[in-house]
Amino acid sequence: MNNPRTSLTASAICVAIVALVSPELVHAHVSEQGLVLLLPTAVYITSGVLAVVLTILLLAFMPVRWTHALFPNANATLDKKQTTDRSTPQTNEAAVESVPSSVSSKTDMSGFNRVEVTLSLLSTIFLFALLWTGLTGSHDPLENPLPLFIWTIWWIGFVVLQGVFGNLWRFVNPWTGLYQVAQGLLPVRRSFHLPDWLGVWPGVIALLLVMTFVLADVAPDAPERLSRIVALYWLFTLIGLLVFGEQWLRRCECFSMLLSRYAQLSVVGKRVGSLRVGFPGWPAFVTRATTISAAVFILVLLGSGSFDGLNETFSWLAFIGVNPLEFPGRSAIIDKTVLGLLAANALLIIVYAACVWAGTHWANQQAGTGTSVSFHSAFCQLAISMLPIAFVYHFAHFLTAFMVNAQYAVAAASDPFDSGADLLNLGTFYVTTGFMNSHHSVEAIWLTQAAAVVVGHVLSVILAHAIALDLFGSARRAIISQAPLAAFMVFYTFIGLWLLAAPRGA
C-alpha cells in the first residue's frame, strides 16, 4: 500500500477474518517474494471492487434472455429430478469426476484413443526421466529439473493452459496410457466399485494432504525428497486405477479432479460428443456439482489457494507471532500452518453455506405456489461459481514466480544432471529479475494480476446468476437468492487484491 499506516490498519481490521478465509492456490518454490509493493494499490483495489459491484447491478437489470444467450443450454442442464437432496454421486458430476477420454470402456486403441495413449506413455517416460534427475542431479531446487518442472512448468504453467484451452490433461496424464494397455492385455477386466456414499471425499482429503505438504513441509521442493514422494504417489494412483478403474481418477486422484474442473472454464468444451465453443465457463454451467462432496472439493480448492497467498504475508506472520524480518524457518511454524490451512477452508465453507442458505431462504419465501429450491441443491450447484475465483488467484499469485523460475527451468533443461552440459546451446545464461526493479514493469505486472482477479470475479458473478436463474426459475427470485453470495464475492475481490499487494516475507 502507499501508506504503511493504512496497510497496518487494514491488516488489523481484517486479519481475524483474512487469516482464515483468504484463498489462492499453492505449490511452488516462489522466488522474489520478500518485497513491498510501492504502488497506489488502494486506487486499483477500489476500482476492481467497483467493477464487480457494477457487474452485479448490471445483471440485476439485464433481460433474462441475455443470460440465456451466454449459457444457451440453460434448460437442458440438469434433470429436475436431480435438484432434490441426494448424497450419492450423479452423472452430472463428470465435472469434478471427469477423466481423460482415453480412459473408456473400449479396449482397442484405434483412432484418436491411440494418439492419447501414445502421448500418455511418452508422458510417463518423461516423468520417469525427471524422477531420475531428482535422485541423481543437483540438490539445488533451482538447478534440478524435477522441482522446476513440477512446481513451475506443470503446476503453474500447465494448470493455466488447462483453464484457458480446455482439457489438455487427457493427452499427458501419466497413468491412462498404461491403464489402457493393461486393459487390452488382461484376460479378465474387472474393477471393484467404490461405494456411492463415498462421493468424492477421497479426492477432497487428497487435495488437503497435498496442500499440507506444499505449505507445511520443511522442503517440498528438495529434489531427492520430491522424487520419492512423486514416485510413491504415481505408483499408488496406478494401483488404484487398476483396481477400481477410471472412477479412481474421477473420485480419488485430486490432480485429475482439479484439472478437469479448471478445464471447464475454457470457451471450448465437449457437448453431445462434439466440440463446442461458447462463453467462458459454459462447460462448468452445463456440468455442475450435485453432491456435497463435489461442492466441498471446489471450495477447498479456493480456500487452500487463498490461504497460500495469506500464508506468506507480514500480516499472517504477525498474527501467529513471527517477526517477518527474522523468519525462523518453515519447521518452526508447521503446526500453525496446518491449523491455518484447515481453519481457512472450514471458515470459507461456513461463510459460503451461510450466504447460500440465506439467499435460498429469502428466495423461497417469494415462491408463492411455485417450487421451493432445497439448500442442498443450491449449495452444490452454486459452488461451481467459485471456480473462476480459484483459477484467477492461481494465475495471479504465481505470475512473478513463473517469470523467474521458468528461466531456471530452461537452464536446468540445458544441463539436467548438473554435469556442465549445454544441451540447448544457451551459452552463458543469466536468470534475470530486472523486471522487479522498474516502476513501470512492476506496475504492468500488478495490473495484469489485478485485472485477472477482477475478471475472474466478474465471471463468477455471471455464472452464479445464470445458475440461480436455472434453479429458481424467475429473475426476481434469482436476484434475491444471490444477494448474500454477491456481497461475499465483492468482499472476496477486496481480499484477493489486498493479498496481491500485501508485503510478503515468508
pLDDT of 276 reads: 81
Which neighbouring-strand residues pair with 276? 269
Classify each residue of 173-201 as buried b or exposed e, where b means 16 or more C-beta atoms within 10 Å of its C-beta: bbbbbbbbeebeeeeeeeeeebeeeebbb
The SS3 of residue 36 is coil
Instruction: Dump pLDDT digits (tens) for 384-427.
Output: 999 999 999 999 999 999 999 999 999 999 999 888 899 999 98
Regarding pTM above 0.75, the answer is: yes
Cell matching residue 182: 493393461
Instruction: Quote the CA–CA distance of 73 and 81 in Å, as a whole number.
Output: 17
The SS3 of residue 46 is helix
Question: Does the pLDDT of residue 146 top 80, yes or no?
Answer: yes
Please report which confidence band the pLDDT of residue 341 belongs to, taking 50, 70 and 90 as the band edges. very high
pLDDT of 91 reads: 38
Question: Does the pLDDT of residue 290 top 90, yes or no?
Answer: no
Longest dimension (CA), the chain: 77
Give the mean pLDDT of the chain.
83
pLDDT of 371 reads: 79
Question: Does the pLDDT of residue 249 top 90, yes or no?
Answer: yes
Helix ranges restricted to H, 217-333: 223-244, 247-251, 254-263, 282-286, 292-311, 314-319
Instruction: Quote the CA–CA distance of 479 and 469 in Å, as a whole number.
Output: 8
**Domain assignment of residue 18, yes or no:** yes
Pick the closest to residue 203 from 155, 247, 251, 237 (CA basis): 251
Question: Does the pLDDT of residue 11 top 80, yes or no?
Answer: no
pLDDT of 72 reads: 66
Instruction: Quote the CA–CA distance of 37 and 32 in Å, as a whole number.
Output: 12
Helix (H) or strand (E) holding 271: strand 268-271
pLDDT of 437 reads: 82
Question: Does the pLDDT of residue 449 top 50, yes or no?
Answer: yes
Question: Does the pLDDT of residue 14 top 60, yes or no?
Answer: no
Angle formed at CA 217 by CA 213 and CA 221, multiple of 5 degrees = 85
Residue 414: which region, alpha, beta or left (left: phi > 0; alpha: psi -120 to 50)? Answer: alpha
Report the chain's terminal Cα–Cα distance, integer Å: 18
**Domain assignment of residue 506, yes or no:** no
Phi and psi at residue 269, to the nearest 5°: -155, 165
pLDDT of 187 reads: 65
Angle formed at CA 362 by CA 357 and CA 365, multiple of 5 degrees = 125
Instruction: Quote the CA–CA distance of 472 and 468 in Å, as a whole number.
Output: 6
Please report which confidence band the pLDDT of residue 154 belongs to, taking 50, 70 and 90 as the band edges. very high
Which neighbouring-strand residues pair with 270? 275
**Domain assignment of residue 132, yes or no:** yes
Which of 71-80, 101-110, 152-161, 314-323 has the highest mean predicted lDDT (pLDDT)?
152-161
| Structural domain that includes position 50 | 4-501
**Domain assignment of residue 320, yes or no:** yes
User: How much is the average pLDDT of 444-463?
Assistant: 93
Instruction: Quote the CA–CA distance of 457 and 443 in Å, as a whole number.
Output: 21
Q: Are 386 and 460 in contact (CB under 8 A)?
A: yes
* pLDDT, greater one: 51 or 34: 51
Q: How far is C-alpha 18 from the geometric centre of its chain's CA atoms?
A: 19
pLDDT of 433 reads: 85
**Domain assignment of residue 236, yes or no:** yes
Query: Number of C-alpha atoms within 13 angstroms, CB side, residue 209?
Result: 12
Pick the closest to residue 445 from 103, 32, 168, 119 (CA basis): 32
Query: Number of C-alpha atoms within 13 angstroms, CB side, residue 16?
Result: 2
**Domain assignment of residue 286, yes or no:** yes
Phi and psi at residue 245, to the nearest 5°: 80, -165
pLDDT of 94 reads: 39
Helix ranges restricted to H, 76-111: 94-97
Instruction: Dump pLDDT digits (tens) for 50-97.
Output: 999 999 999 888 888 888 888 865 444 443 433 333 333 343 443 333
* pLDDT, greater one: 260 or 506: 260
Cell matching residue 410: 530452461
Instruction: Dump pLDDT digits (tens) for 392-403.
Output: 999 999 999 999
Cell matching residue 443: 506496475
Domain count, the chain: 1
User: How much is the average pLDDT of 206-231?
Assistant: 96
pLDDT above 90 coverage of the chain, percent: 59
Instruction: Quote the CA–CA distance of 199 and 401 in Å, as a whole number.
Output: 35
**Domain assignment of residue 347, yes or no:** yes
Q: How far is C-alpha 133 from the geometric centre of its chain's CA atoms?
A: 28
